[in-house]
Amino acid sequence: MTITGKIVREITRPELGNLHIGRNITEYAWDARDTYGDRLANGVYLYRVLTKLNGENIEKNGSGADKFITKEFGKMVIMR
């Protein structure tokens, strides 16, 4: 989403394909396009990852990347 909170794209589970649980790796590669297929402009965007198993939220495990996540949101910069 943009820093103003506008959702530009939601990536759903079927799009991700197979997940390698434990390493949290997928073959999915996002092309930085919005819902309508337009390329996103250079800038700062926010992302949020929601995980569920059998309809129940999965709690995250702490990691070294925690310093980049604030209140469940992470930052991403697009520069071309």
Would you mind telling me the total number of residues written for the chain in this entry? 80
pLDDT number for residue 73: 82
User: Cα dist. 20→16, 17, 43, 67, 79 in Å?
Assistant: 11, 10, 30, 24, 29
- pTM: predicted TM-score of the whole model, two decimal places: 0.68
pLDDT digits (tens, 9 = 90+) for 16-66: 887 776 666 778 888 999 999 999 999 999 988 777 778 777 666 666 666
Per-residue pLDDT, 25: 75
Domain range summary for the chain, segments of one domain joined by +: 13-78
pLDDT at site 60? 63
